[in-house]
A and B are shown apart, each in its own frame.
Chain A
Amino acid sequence: ETGVTQSPTHLIKTRGQQVTLRCSSQSGHNTVSWYQQALGQGPQFIFQYYREEENGRGNFPPRFSGLQFPNYSSELNVNALELDDSALYLCASSLRGVGNYGYTFGSGTRLTVV
């Protein structure tokens, strides 16, 4: 059983640029969620994808967008990067409708915006 893998592990971008982060779901999971964790804070829910469609969104602007592919892998895209976007971005896969959903997290992508 493979876990959740995220790439890249670290990234440095300039303000105003665009970035794409990638996530491979755990085998058997059909849902993927993205979280932003700023320093000293808990992970904040960005959005969730189920069956390749957005299935709920947190308090993040439209420049945060995503995709889920038929193999349940996912991308998080952020346009017009701002300094405050610097954070650890976590991807989690889960199995919708099963008990506690089995949320499993990747190790994250550390994004630094300069």
Chain B
Amino acid sequence: DQQVKQNSPSLSVQEGRISILNCDYTNSMFDYFLWYKKYPAEGPTFLISISSIKDKNEDGRFTVFLNKSAKHLSLHIVPSQPGDSAVYFCAAINQGGKLIFGQGTELSVKP
């Protein structure tokens, strides 16, 4: 029962261009959605979150969009930089306060 899904295992983008990472979910009762960045042998690092009552949140080069009717969210990174290369996890917090992760998308930003 995969409640949070990232259907693209990998994404390759040119430096300076926009990176768009997508995430779908099945549980309409999630309270918050979050994006984490992860390097090998390190724990996930928090990037940005969005409340279920909002449809957009922006922090510097990172913007998260939430489409509740489609149960879909996306993370936009503009402009992409080589240092952004990592695995990105979409996650959601349910009403019990538990954090549920997607499978991850590996982003590669090429110079």
Q: Identify the A interface with B (CB < 8 A).
A: 4, 31, 33, 35, 41-45, 48, 55-56, 90, 92, 94, 96-97, 99-101, 103-108, 110
- What is the total of A-B residue contacts with beta carbons within 8 Å? 63
Partner pick for A100 among B34, B100, B101, CB 8 A cutoff = B34
Besides A42-B4, A56-B97, 19 more A-B contacts (Cβ < 8 Å) are A33-B99, A42-B6, A44-B101, A45-B99, A45-B100, A55-B96, A56-B96, A56-B98, A90-B43, A92-B99, A99-B32, A100-B32, A100-B93, A101-B32, A103-B34, A103-B99, A105-B44, A108-B42, A108-B43
Contact-residue bracket for chain B: 20 to 34
> What is the predominant secondary structure among interface residues of chain B facing chain A?
strand
Are A103 and B46 closer than 8 Å at their CB atoms? yes
Residues in chain B near residue A96, CB distance under 8 A: 97
Are A33 and B32 closer than 8 Å at their CB atoms? no
Q: Identify the B interface with A (CB < 8 A).
A: 4, 6, 32, 34, 36, 41-46, 49, 51, 89, 93, 96-104
Residue from A4, A100, A107 whose CB has the most chain B CB atoms within 10 Å: A100
- Sample 21 A-B pairs with CB under 8 A, ordered by A number: A35-B101, A42-B6, A42-B101, A42-B102, A42-B103, A45-B101, A48-B97, A55-B97, A56-B96, A56-B97, A92-B43, A92-B99, A94-B99, A96-B97, A101-B32, A105-B36, A105-B44, A106-B43, A107-B43, A108-B42, A108-B43
